[in-house]
C-alpha cells in the first residue's frame, strides 16, 4: 500500500492519480494526525509524506513511527530550501527526499 | 491749511505708490463692489495687464471663470453676515493670466474702513515655484515607495516560490500521470479514456492557479505612476490581505477581516494604498507572532466624510516613548526599522488628503494604526439623473 500524507489537496490528488493510474493501491491523508488516528503501517508499505505539514510535521511523523517500531519505506517531499530540509530531517535514517516541483518522473522515484 | 493737507496727502500717496512697486508680492485693493483701485507692478507681471488697464475693472478679470462667478456672491455674503471666510485667514486660490493660463496663488486679505466705504487689500504670492518643489518631493516619494515595494518583494520572493511550488508540483504530476496512461493505451492499442481528459482538466486548473499568483504579484511590482481613481476600499484592502497571506503562511497568525457589506468609495491610487496596508500588516504580523493570541484584525468603516482602515494586533502595544517617535523617518525603535515605512505611509496618506494615526494601546491592548482617507463625493454632474 502507498500512503500519501499531504495537506495540499491538489498535490495529494495529483500524486494519487499518478500512482493509481499505474495500478498501485493508494490511501491519502491530509495530516499526520489523521493518519495516526486511522491507520497503521506494515513493513510492506511505502509512505510519501510532506515535510511541511501543519500541526505535526512530516519529520515528527516519521520520528513517531520509528519510535513505535514501524519502519516502512519513507519518501519525504518538500518545497523548502535544502538547508531547511536538512534541519527538518536531522537524525532520520534512510529517507528519500523528493523536492517540489518535480524535476523527474516521481513514479519511478517512488517505486524504485 | 487746505493746501498743506493736500501736500501731505500727495506725499503719503507717493510713498504708498513706491512701497507698492517695491513690494515683492502682488498687491490689489478693491472696493465694496469688487472694482480694482490699486494694481501694483508685480500684479502687472503676474497677470499681464497694465495697472491702467486693470484699475476700474472688476477683480474677476484676473480670476478663472469658475471663481469669478462666486466671488461676487462671497462678497455679498460677507457684507450681509459679516462672516469671514478669507479676511485675516489667507488661502490658496487660482489666478488667471491675460493669456488664459491659470496658476496657483497664496492670497491674504485685509480690510480697511475708509471714508469711501470698505476696501479690501489683497496680497498675492505666486505659488508656481513652490508647487514645482512640491511636485519634485512627491516624485521622490513615489520612487522611495517603489524601492520599498521592491525590497518587500525580495522578502516575498521566497514565500512566493513556496506558494507556486504547490500548483506546479500538482501540474507536473498530473501530466506525468496522463503521459503514462497514454503510453499504456498505445501499447495496448486502446483509445484514451475520459478519465485522462479529467486529469488534463485538473492540470489546466493547476496551471491557472499558478498564473493567478504570478499575475497578482506582477500587479504589485509593476511601477505605475500615481493613478487616482475612484476605488472600493474594501476590494483594494482585500487584495493586499490576500497577498500578505503569502508572507504570513506558516506563521500561525490569524487575520480577521471586519468589512461591511456596502462599497466604500475613495479617490486614491490603489497601489499606494495597498503599500500602506501591506506595511501596517507586516508590522502587525510581526508583533502578533510573538503574542499569545496571535491575531491581527483589519477593519474598514466610514462616516459621511472619511473612510478608515484600522489594523490592530494582539500584541502588548507601545510604550509612550516609542509611540512618540513612531513616525520619525529614521526611528529604529524596532529591529525591523518600521520608522521609515510608517513615515512614508503617512506621507502617502496625507498626499491623498487623509492621514495615518497610531493608537499605541498598552495595558493588554494591542496597537492600532488607522489609515484615514476622504470619502469620494459624487459631484453634481454624476448626481444628475435627468428624470
The region of weakest confidence among A47-61, B74-88, B127-141, B310-324 is: B127-141
Longest CA span, chain A: 35
Per-residue pLDDT tens digits for A73-106? 899 999 887 888 888 888 887 789 999 989 889 9
Residue B54 Rama label (left phi>0; alpha psi -120 to 50; beta): alpha
User: How sure is the predictor about B384, in pLDDT bands with cuts at 50, 70 and 90?
Assistant: very low
For residue B331, the domain's CATH number is 3.30.565.10
Query: Are the Cβ atoms of B169 and A14 closer than 8 angstroms?
Result: yes
Q: Is the pLDDT of residue A40 over 80?
A: no
For residue B355, being part of any structural domain is answered with yes
Q: Is the pLDDT of residue B280 over 50?
A: yes
- What 3-state DSSP class applies to B114? strand
pLDDT digits (tens, 9 = 90+) for B239-261: 888 777 655 555 578 888 898 88
Greatest alpha-carbon pair distance for chain B in Å reads 131
The answer, yes or no, to whether residue B316 has pLDDT greater than 50, is yes
Evaluated on CA atoms B84, B89, B94, B98, the torsion sign reads positive
What is residue B195's predicted lDDT score, i.e. its pLDDT?
86
Task: Give the model confidence (pLDDT) of B152-165 as tens digits.
Answer: 555 556 666 767 88
Q: Is B206 helix (H, G, I), strand (E, B) or coil?
A: helix
Among B210, B322, B225, B305, CA closest to B265: B305
Last residue of a domain, one of B95, B126, B157: B126
Distance CA B31, CA B37 (A): 7
Other CB atoms closer than 10 Å to residue B250's CB: what's the count?
A: 12
Q: How many whole angstroms separate alpha carbon A6 and alpha carbon B246? A: 19
Residue B4, domain member (yes or no) = no
The reply to whether B218 and B231 lie within a common domain is: no
A8 vs B166, B176, B250: nearest CB: B166
The domain boundary residue, chosen from B223, B243, B270: B223
CB nearest to B170's CB, from A14, A22, A52: A14
What is the pLDDT, as a whole number, of residue B136? 66
pLDDT band (50, 70, 90) for residue B385: very low
Specify if B288 maps to a domain: yes
| Residue B219 pLDDT exceeds 70 | no
Are B32 and B134 part of one and the same domain? no
Query: Directed axis angle between helix B128-188 and helix B270-289, to 10°?
Result: 70
B169, B209, B250: residue with CB nearest A102: B169
β pairing state of B102-114 and B229-232: unpaired
**Closest CA in chain A for residue B181:** A21
Chain-wide mean pLDDT for chain B?
A: 80
Let me know how long chain B is: 387
Band (A60; pLDDT cuts 50, 70, 90): very high
The answer to whether residues B71 and B193 belong to one domain is no
Same domain, B237 and B298: yes
- Quick one: which H or E segment has residue B229? strand B229-232
Say which CATH number the domain at B87 has.
Answer: 3.30.450.20
Task: Judge: B161–A15 Cβ closer than 8 Å, yes or no.
Answer: no
Is the pLDDT at B383 greater than 50, yes or no?
Answer: no
- pLDDT at position B386, please? 39
Task: Please determine, for residue A44, whether its predicted confidence score (pLDDT) is greater than 80.
Answer: yes
Q: What pLDDT digit, counting tens, does each position of B290-304 carry?
A: 888 889 999 999 988
DSSP category for residue A102: P
**Which of B169, B181, B199 has its CB closest to that of A11?**
B169
Residues of B with CB under 8 A from a CB of A: 161-162, 165-174, 176-177, 180-181, 199, 202, 205-206, 209, 250
Q: Name which of A57, A92, A86 is nearest A73 in CA terms.
A: A92
pLDDT score at B335:
39
Whether residue B374 is predicted with pLDDT greater than 90 in this model: the reply is yes
The answer to whether position B266 is within a domain reads: yes
B43 and B92 in a single domain? The answer is yes
- The Cβ-side half-sphere exposure at B185, using a 13 Å CA radius, reads 14
Chain B partners within 8 Å of A80 (Cβ):
162
Are B255 and B363 in a shared domain?
yes
**pLDDT (0 to 100) of residue A88:** 87
Chain B residues within 8 A of A10 when measuring between CB atoms: 166-167, 170, 202, 205-206, 209
- The answer to whether A27 contacts chain B (CB < 8 Å) is no
Is residue B249 located within the same domain as residue B297?
yes
Cβ atoms of B295 and B288 closer than 8 Å: yes
Give which of B188, B178, B43, B22 is closest to B103, Cα–Cα. B43
Pick the last residue of a domain from B94, B126, B158: B126
Task: Give the distance from residue B224's alpha carbon to the nearest chain A alpha carbon, in angstroms.
Answer: 32
Cα gap B364→B139, rounded to integer Å:
41
Q: Which three cell numbers stand for residue B33?
A: 463692489
Per-residue three-class SS string for B54-82: HCCCEHHHHCCHHHHHHHHHHHHHHHHHC
Residues B349 and B236 in one domain: yes
> A56 CB near a chain B CB, below 8 Å?
no
- Asked if the structure places residue B90 within a domain, the reply is yes
If asked whether residues B94 and B42 sit together in one domain, one would say yes
A22 contacts on B by Cβ (under 8 Å)? 180
Is position B312 within any domain? yes
Closest to B250 in 3D by CA, of A15, A50, A5: A50
Residue of B nearest to A15 (CA): B173
Q: Does residue B384 share a domain with residue B267? A: yes
What is the spatial distance between Cα B309 and Cα B240, in angstroms, rounded to a whole number?
Answer: 12
Proportion of chain B above pLDDT 70, given as a percent = 80
Say which residue, A110 or B130, is predicted with more confidence.
Answer: A110
- Give me the pLDDT at residue A27, please: 94
In a domain, B8, yes or no: no
Mean pLDDT score, B216-227: 59
> Can you tell me the distance from the alpha carbon of B166 to that of B170, in angstroms, rounded to the nearest whole number?
6
Q: Which of A2, A11, A53 is most worth mutating to test chain B (most B CB atoms within 10 A of its CB)?
A: A11
pLDDT band (50, 70, 90) for residue B54: very high
Question: Has residue B88 been placed in a domain?
Answer: yes
pLDDT digits (tens, 9 = 90+) for B13-22: 777 777 777 7
Burial (CB count within 10 angstroms: exposed 0-12, middle 13-18, buried 19+), residue A85: buried
**Residue B383 shares a structural domain with residue B281:** yes
pLDDT band at B141 (very low <50, low <70, confident <90, very high): low
Is residue A30 within 8 A of residue A12, CB to CB? The reply is: yes
Range of the domain at B163: 128-223
State the total domains in chain B. Answer: 3
Domains of chain A from N-terminus onward: 2-111 (3.40.50.2300)
Say if residue B232 is in the same domain as residue B351. yes
Cβ of B161 within 8 Å of Cβ of A106? The answer is no
Amino acid at each position: 500500500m502507498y500512503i500519501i500524507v499531504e495537506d495540499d489537496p491538489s498535490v495529494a490528488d495529483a500524486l494519487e492519480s499518478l500512482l493509481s493510474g499505474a495500478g498501485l493501491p493508494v490511501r491519502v491523508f491530509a495530516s499526520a494526525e489523521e493518519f495516526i488516528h486511522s491507520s497503521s503501517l506494515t513493513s510492506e508499505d511505502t509512505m510519501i509524506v510532506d515535510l511541511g505539514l501543519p500541526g505535526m510535521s512530516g519529520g515528527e511523523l516519521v520520528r513517531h513511527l520509528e519510535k513505535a517500531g514501524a519502519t516502512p519505506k519513507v519518501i519525504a517531499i518538500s518545497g523548502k530550501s535544502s538547508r531547511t530540509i536538512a534541519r527538518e530531517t536531522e537524525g532520520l535514517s534512510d529517507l528519500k527526499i523528493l523536492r517540489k516541483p518535480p524535476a523527474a518522473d516521481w513514479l519511478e522515484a517512488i517505486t524504485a | 491749511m487746505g493746501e498743506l493737507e493736500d501736500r501731505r496727502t500727495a506725499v503719503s500717496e507717493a510713498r504708498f505708490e513706491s512701497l507698492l512697486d517695491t513690494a515683492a508680492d502682488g498687491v490689489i485693493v478693491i472696493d465694496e463692489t469688487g472694482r480694482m483701485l490699486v494694481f501694483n507692478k508685480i500684479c502687472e507681471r503676474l497677470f499681464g495687464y497694465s495697472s491702467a488697464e486693470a484699475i476700474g475693472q472688476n477683480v474677476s478679470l484676473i480670476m478663472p471663470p469658475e471663481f469669478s462667478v462666486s466671488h461676487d456672491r462671497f462678497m455679498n455674503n460677507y457684507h450681509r453676515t459679516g462672516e469671514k471666510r478669507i479676511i485675516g485667514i489667507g488661502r490658496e486660490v487660482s489666478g488667471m493670466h491675460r493669456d488664459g493660463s491659470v496658476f496657483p496663488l497664496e492670497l491674504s486679505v485685509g480690510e480697511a474702513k475708509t471714508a469711501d466705504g470698505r476696501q479690501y487689500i489683497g496680497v498675492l504670492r505666486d505659488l508656481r515655484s513652490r508647487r514645482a518643489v512640491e511636485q519634485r518631493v512627491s516624485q521622490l516619494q513615489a520612487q522611495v515607495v517603489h524601492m520599498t515595494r521592491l525590497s518587500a518583494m525580495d522578502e516575498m520572493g521566497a514565500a512566493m516560490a513556496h506558494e507556486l511550488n504547490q500548483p506546479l508540483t500538482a501540474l507536473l504530476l498530473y501530466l506525468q500521470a496522463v503521459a503514462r496512461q497514454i503510453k499504456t493505451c498505445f501499447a495496448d492499442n486502446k483509445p484514451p479514456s475520459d478519465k485522462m481528459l479529467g486529469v488534463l482538466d485538473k492540470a489546466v486548473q493547476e496551471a491557472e492557479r499558478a498564473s493567478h499568483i504570478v499575475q497578482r504579484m506582477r500587479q504589485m511590482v509593476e511601477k505605475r505612476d500615481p493613478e487616482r481613481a475612484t476605488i472600493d476600499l474594501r476590494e483594494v484592502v482585500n487584495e493586499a490581505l490576500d497577498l500578505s497571506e503569502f508572507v504570513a503562511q506558516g506563521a500561525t497568525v490569524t487575520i480577521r477581516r471586519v468589512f461591511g457589506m456596502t462599497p466604500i468609495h475613495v479617490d486614491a491610487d490603489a497601489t499606494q494604498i495597498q503599500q500602506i496596508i501591506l506595511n501596517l500588516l507586516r508590522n502587525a504580523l510581526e508583533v502578533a507572532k510573538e503574542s499569545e493570541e496571535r491575531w491581527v484584525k483589519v477593519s474598514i468603516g466610514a462616516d459621511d466624510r472619511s473612510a478608515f482602515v484600522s489594523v490592530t494586533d494582539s500584541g502588548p502595544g507601545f510604550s509612550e516613548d516609542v509611540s512618540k517617535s513612531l513616525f520619525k523617518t529614521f526611528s529604529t525603535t524596532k529591529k525591523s526599522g518600521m520608522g521609515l515605512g510608517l513615515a512614508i505611509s503617512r506621507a502617502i496618506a496625507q498626499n491623498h488628503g487623509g492621514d495615518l494615526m497610531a493608537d499605541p494601546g498598552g495595558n493588554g491592548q494591542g496597537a492600532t494604526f488607522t489609515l484615514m482617507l476622504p470619502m469620494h463625493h459624487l459631484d453634481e454632474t454624476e448626481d444628475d439623473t435627468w428624470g
